[in-house]
Amino acid sequence: MREALAIGGNSALLTRANPLAKFAAVVFITAVLAVSIDWVSAATALAAEFALFGLAGLTLRLLWQRGWPLIIAAAVGGWSTAILSADSGRILVDAGIWSISEGSLELGLGFMLRGLAIALPAILLMSCTDPTDLADALAQKARLPHRFVLGTLAAMRLVGLMAEEWQTIGMARRARGIGSHGTPLQRLRATLGQSFGLLVQAVRRATRLAVTMEARGFGGAGRTWARESTFGRIDIWVVLGGALIAGAALAAAVTAGTWNPVLS
């Protein structure tokens, strides 16, 4: 978890862009893909996103580490759409109530590509954005309340600690004779007990952290920012790039005649 949130060592170009600009670009792309379920727009956006890997300092390996739940969800979604949706065109596979036709395969493929194309920008954003910079931008540029933004940021640091603590509590409980073996019911009870132990520790840590922050003057009205969140020329390119990818996806689908808006 700690590794998943850190972008340490990533010096790619996009790490220098303002998080809000990157967020705007992601919104453009996602908006177009959310409207249609065709495979051409999704494939176009996906291809463009893959081209951005280098700029964001992302590799396929890192992509899998950070985004595997989303990737698997997209694949499963595509597969179930292919076998469950209404058949049209030539039947390719027929297994009783499950069948895959050309039409349903196209729909399933579109669904999967779309899932990936929507998930990927978010992963790209995460991989080249430091949470601290994001918090700075949200508080200074988007004008979200700084108490909320900084409180969340500080709490996120504790999430990594909690992952380590979970392992330790699991071992500590085994050392008390409470194993995670046995019937499903026993395992469930063991997991609940371990969760309770973690909850107690999380509350204690959070309380101490809150005291630390308050003792450093957190929570007052006036505040300055050591790091100024700024927009630069690169941010114009980032927003334009996002709009361009969104436009290209739309244009490709309309040209290919596959544009198929959900709401029409």
Partner 1 sequence: MAASVAGAAGTSAATRPASVSARGWGWRHAGRTAPAVQGLDLDIRPGERVLLLGASGAGKSTLLHALAGVLGDDDDGADEAGTLLIDGTPPRGQRGRAGLMQQDPETQVVLSRLGDDVAFGAENLAVPRDEIWRRVGEALDDVGLGGLALDHPTSALSGGQKQRLALAGILAMRPGLVLLDEPTANLDPAGVLEVRDAVGRSLDKTGATLIVVEHRVAVWKDLVDRIVVLQPGLSASGAQQSAVLLDGPPAEVLAEAGRMLAAAGVWVPGLVPATRPRSNSGSGELLLAAERLAVSRDPARRRGRVPGRRLPVQSGIDAEVSAGRALTVTGPNGAGKSTFALTLAGLLAPAEGKVSAAVGLAAGAGTDPFKWKAKQLIARIGTVFQEPEHQFVTGTVLDELMVGPRHLGRGAEAVDELLARLRLDHLTEANPYTLSGGEKRRLSVATVLAARPKVLVLDEPTFGQDARTWAELASFLTELLDAGTAVVSVTHDEEFSAVLGGTELRLGSARLEAGAA
Member of 167, 183, 262, 263 binding partner 1 (CB under 8 A): 167
54 near partner 1, rule: CB under 8 A? no
Among 202, 231, 260, residue whose Cα is nearest residue 23:
231
Any contact of residue 185 with partner 1 (CB under 8 A)? no
Of 35, 52, 10, 7, the C-alpha closest to 250 is 35
Q: Cβ atoms within 10 A of the Cβ of 44, count?
A: 24
Is residue 144 close enough to count as binding partner 1 by CB under 8 A? no
> Which positions from 4 through 33 interact with partner 1, judged by CB under 8 A?
6, 8
214 contacts partner 1 (rule: CB under 8 A): yes
CA distances from 43 to 14, 36, 216, 222, 248 (A): 23, 12, 50, 48, 11
Instruction: Decide whether 138 or 253 has the Cβ nearer to partner 1.
Output: 138
Contact, 129 vs 19, CB < 8 A? yes
Q: Which stretch binds partner 1 (CB under 8 A): 25-33, 56-64, 92-100, 149-157?
A: 149-157
The 8-class DSSP code of residue 15 comes to G
> What span, in angstroms and rounded, lies between the C-alpha atoms of 38 and 52?
22
**The one segment of 12-20, 50-58, 95-103, 205-213 that binds partner 1 by CB under 8 A:** 205-213
**Contact map string, positions 222 to 251, toward partner 1, x by CB under 8 A:** xxxxxxx-----------------------
Q: Please tell me the distance from the alpha carbon of residue 153 to that of residue 136, in angstroms, as a whole number.
A: 10
Which lies closer to partner 1 via its Cβ, residue 73 or residue 173? 173
CB closer to partner 1 out of 1 and 31: 1
CA 70 vs. chain centroid, Å, equals 8
Binding site for partner 1 (CB under 8 A): 2, 6, 8, 130-132, 153-154, 157, 160-161, 165, 167-169, 171-179, 181, 193, 197, 200-201, 204-205, 208-209, 211-228
